[in-house]
Amino acid sequence: MINHPIHRSQLPNGITVLTISNPTADIVSGRFFIPAGSRWETPERAGLAQLLTSVLTKGTERLSALEIADRVESVGAGLGLDTTTDYIKMSLKTVKSDLVDIFKLAGEILRTPNFPESQIELERKLILQAIKSQTEQPFNNAYRQLRTALYGEHPYARSSLGTAATMGQITRQDLVDYHQTHIRPDRLIISLAGRITPEEAIDLVTQVFGDWEIPEIELPLLAPECVTTQPQYQVEHQSTQQAIVMLGYLAPAIHDPDCIALKLIDSYLSNGMSSRLFVELREKRGLAYDVSSFYPTRLDTSHFAVYMGTAASNTRVAVSGLRAEVDRLCLEQLSAAELQTAKDKLLGQYALGKQTNGQLAQTYGWYELLGLSVDFDSQFSEAIQQLTSAQLQTAADKHLSEPYISIVSPQEEGTTGQRGDEGN
């Protein structure tokens, strides 16, 4: 694996600039990270960040949506925004010769959007369609139900799309206020990767953003940590061909030492067709149409989940099967061969996730937003290599002992009357 040098600097107005020099291709990719997203929304305005990022490219004080699109597409570049739980992100990709023009356009979009009412209404309709589509998908419903049980009133319980009710209440002034509060230089991380030197990157950022002053607007308080409740067992019935069974556990954020061990456990359980869940529950027992686990990286308390798509008649045994595989990690240590295979898979996947300039800009910009040093890349790999089976068992026993259970299934025999049996 090629190690690309990473240069970090900060402008007087607070903008952090990361440069990952990779001169192998005449391409530069960029990521603009702002800690915002649904984590900074009120329950009454859930979906606000999603609507904001959908509208930002639809007009500035100087350019229309069509003019913005033409400037990007005419040179074959890429420019777009999206929102997640913990951040808003702008992405760009262009050949080096067009970088200055595309970067200036990105700066204009971030700094001087005009939020046309017609575009707001168009994007609102599209998001409402996405919300409706989400409610029709059993996996999304099971995951929503699980997040609500895990997080309660914390924003992590909510979808970044919001709800039909909250999306309908968001006004243009809400977008303006959110933009003025959160889209600001002292919150901005710019990560550039490709054929560009640190000096060129700093000069370009200074040229476009150097005169951007920090607004005298106080940032809202962060949402409180989620309040731990007793694990719950919840069933939702939906017209669907299969049942979704999901077990979830509150799990540590990235700065907790146990996070690395849980990342490796996640890889062991779900990475590929030779993973533990796939082999034991799909190949050997034929229970699952789909089976996996996930452990997202979060600024606040995260969650570890295992899930299965199965026939409705298999719901009871799916719960016990998933739980048995997680409980095994708490009770038994992985063999030396199992441990090494899990490490090889995770580290191989990690290396493959940093092959393109876009992936490099994404990885290191995300690390910066998380408050990790530029050395975390090598530290992560070293920490994985040093983990022992005993450490994995300890982490599993600490964090994965008692699950929250979420099920979405058709109303059929075998999907009801399980709370007393499986909730113990």
Q: What is the mean pLDDT of residues 93-102?
A: 98
> pLDDT exceeding 70 applies to what percent of the chain?
94
Reported as a pLDDT band with limits 50, 70 and 90, residue 416 is very low
Task: Examine the pLDDT at 60 and tell me if it is beyond 90.
Answer: yes
> Where is mean pLDDT largest: 153-157, 221-225, 320-324?
320-324
Q: What is the per-residue pLDDT for 145? A: 96
Q: What is the mean pLDDT of residues 21-47?
A: 94
Q: What is the per-residue pLDDT for 2? A: 52
Task: Examine the pLDDT at 1 and tell me if it is beyond 60.
Answer: no
Residue 166's SS3 state is helix
Query: How far is 238 from 322, CA to CA, in rounded Å?
Result: 22
Query: How far is 46 from 131, CA to CA, in rounded Å?
Result: 12
Q: What is the mean pLDDT of residues 285-300?
A: 93
Structure tokens at 405: 């259970």
DSSP state of 413: T
Of 171, 217, 169, 192, the C-alpha closest to 55 is: 171
Q: What is the per-residue pLDDT for 404? A: 96
Q: What is the per-residue pLDDT for 212? A: 97
Could you read off the pLDDT of 379-407 as tens digits, one per residue? 999 999 999 999 999 999 999 999 999 99
Residue 404's SS3 state is strand
Task: Examine the pLDDT at 375 and tell me if it is beyond 90.
Answer: no
Q: Where are the alpha helices (DSSP H) in 212-369?
A: 258-270, 276-277, 315-331, 336-352, 357-369
- Name the average pLDDT for the chain: 92
Q: What is the per-residue pLDDT for 418? A: 37
Q: What is the DSSP string of 167-195?
A: HHH--HHHHHHHHHHHSSGGG-EEEEEES
Could you read off the pLDDT of 334-365 as tens digits, one per residue? 999 999 999 999 999 999 999 999 999 999 99
Q: CB–CB of 414/313 below 8 Å? A: yes
Structure tokens at 369: 């937003």
Q: What is the per-residue pLDDT for 223? A: 59
Q: What is the DSSP string of 90-134?
A: EEEEEEGGGHHHHHHHHHHHHH-B---HHHHHHHHHHHHHHHHHH
- What is the distance, to the nearest Å, from the Cα of residue 273 to the centroid of all Cα atoms in its chain? 24
The pTM assigned to this predicted structure is 0.91
Reported as a pLDDT band with limits 50, 70 and 90, residue 135 is very high
